[in-house]
């Protein structure tokens, strides 16, 4: 049914079955080899959504969307990336492992965008062999409080659990949000050439409107959720105001049907990213307590 709905809307032919997975992965590899900006890692957005564009029923509650075959594709993509990136909201909601289990291959290094170091000390990611990178904006330059001695203690506790804490600048107008271009530059300097971004909504939206996504692999499920949109509405409005027509396009798209899911994959074509701005209204205020900020969807 889902294929019949989509066929009149999309021109690429729909491939069927896991026998075509190699073809889809080969298209991704070709795009990666032709990357336009070698100064930063190649960025792949990979997520699942419903027919109405939702990734969960509600914020903070994970929702199963992908089928078994689609999960195998996701894990095959993970095995082809050096790092896998999520926001702190996704970590708090899902407590994911972010490893490769359903196919053979190495697991990517986890990266969590976590401005205020809200990562729980018992998170599953801290139990992995691969050292987790926590990208923070805390400078610990104050005399006490979250950014003083308490922040240092928090960093030491996370490092004792195996995390590597990176202190990064904040996006100029984002009131404490991690500067994603700076994070990508740091990752590239650390030898990371390919980053897979899995969410949540605000992280996905941030990469889109900042012009930082190179490729997208989106799993569509034949259901409506009426919940949390994959592209965050306030960020979407900011993008439209900053760029005119707003959202990027997917070019060279391929479609693959896996059981009840349809995979849409292609190159993300952006407008001039220099005209984009970081919306101020939707970021946590610098005085927001860490737990309150973390309860919002991927507030960093």
DSSP 201-270: HHHHHHHHHTT---EEEEEE-S----SEESS-HHHHHHHHHHHSS-S-EEEEEEEEEETTEEEEEEEEE-
Does a structural domain hold residue 277? no
**How much is the pLDDT for 257?**
93
User: String of b and e for 42-56 (b: at least 16 CB within 10 Å)?
Assistant: bbbbbbbbbeeebbb
| pLDDT at residue 111 greater than cutoff 80 | yes
Range of the domain at 230: 2-257+288-294
| pLDDT at residue 151 greater than cutoff 70 | yes
Does a structural domain hold residue 57? yes
**How much is the pLDDT for 130?**
85
> At 238, is the pLDDT very low, low, confident or very high (cuts 50, 70, 90)?
low
- Over residues 174-191, the pLDDT tens digits come to 567 899 999 999 999 999
**How much is the pLDDT for 295?**
33
- Over residues 17-37, the pLDDT tens digits come to 677 889 999 999 999 999 888
| pLDDT at residue 5 greater than cutoff 70 | no
- Give how many domains the chain has, as a whole number: 1
| pLDDT at residue 241 greater than cutoff 90 | no
Q: Tell me the pLDDT of the chain averaged across its residues.
A: 82
Does a structural domain hold residue 274? no
The CATH number covering residue 45 comes to: 3.40.430.10
| pLDDT at residue 233 greater than cutoff 80 | no
Percent of all residues in the chain with a pLDDT value above 90, rounded to a whole number: 59
Which residues sit opposite 47 in a β-bridge?
218
Does a structural domain hold residue 222? yes
Does a structural domain hold residue 264? no
Residues shown for the chain: 300
**How much is the pLDDT for 281?**
32
What average pLDDT does range 184-204 have in this prediction? 96
**How much is the pLDDT for 13?**
67
Does a structural domain hold residue 155? yes
Q: Name which of 184, 181, 186, 183 is nearest 41 in CA terms.
A: 184
Does a structural domain hold residue 270? no
| Cβ-based burial of 114 (10 A; exposed 0-12, middle 13-18, buried ≥19) | buried
Q: Which residue has better confidence, 144 or 64?
A: 64
How far apart are the two ends of the chain, measured CA to CA in Å? Answer: 38
- Over residues 246-269, the pLDDT tens digits come to 678 999 999 999 989 999 999 999
What average pLDDT does range 82-87 have in this prediction? 98
> At 63, is the pLDDT very low, low, confident or very high (cuts 50, 70, 90)?
confident
| pLDDT at residue 293 greater than cutoff 50 | no
| Rounded Cα–Cα distance for residues 128 and 135 (Å) | 17
Does a structural domain hold residue 283? no
134: tokens are 């926590």
| Rounded Cα–Cα distance for residues 250 and 253 (Å) | 6
Residue 42 and residue 188 in contact, taking contact as beta carbons nearer than 8 Å? no
> At 149, is the pLDDT very low, low, confident or very high (cuts 50, 70, 90)?
low
**How much is the pLDDT for 138?**
79
């Amino acid at each position: 049914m889902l294929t019949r709905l989509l066929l009149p809307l999309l021109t690429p032919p729909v491939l069927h079955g896991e026998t075509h997975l190699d073809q889809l992965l080969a298209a991704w590899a070709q795009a990666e080899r032709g990357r336009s900006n070698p100064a930063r890692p190649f960025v792949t957005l990979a997520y699942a959504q419903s027919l109405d564009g939702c990734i969960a029923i509600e914020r903070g509650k994970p929702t199963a969307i992908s089928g078994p075959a689609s999960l195998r594709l996701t894990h095959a993509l993970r095995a082809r990336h050096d790092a896998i990136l999520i926001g702190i909201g996704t970590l708090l909601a899902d407590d994911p492992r972010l490893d490769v289990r359903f196919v053979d291959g190495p697991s990517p290094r986890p990266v969590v965008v976590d401005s205020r170091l809200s990562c729980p000390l018992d998170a599953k990611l801290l139990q992995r062999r691969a050292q987790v990178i926590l990208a923070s904006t805390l400078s610990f330059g104050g005399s006490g409080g979250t950014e003083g001695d308490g922040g240092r203690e928090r960093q030491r506790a996370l490092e004792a659990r195996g995390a590597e804490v990176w202190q990064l600048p904040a996006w100029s107008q984002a009131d404490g949000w991690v500067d994603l271009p700076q994070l990508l530059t740091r990752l590239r300097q650390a030898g990371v050439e390919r980053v897979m971004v899995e969410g949540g909504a605000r992280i996905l939206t941030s990469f889109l409107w900042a012009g930082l996504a190179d490729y997208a692999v989106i799993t569509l499920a034949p259901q409506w959720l009426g919940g949390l949109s994959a592209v965050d509405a306030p960020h979407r409005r900011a993008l439209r105001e900053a760029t005119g027509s707003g959202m990027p396009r997917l070019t060279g798209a391929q479609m693959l049907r896996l059981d009840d899911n349809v995979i849409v994959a292609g190159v993300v074509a952006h407008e001039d990213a220099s005209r984009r701005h970081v919306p101020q209204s939707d970021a946590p205020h610098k005085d927001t307590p860490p737990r309150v900020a973390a309860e919002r969807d991927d507030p960093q």
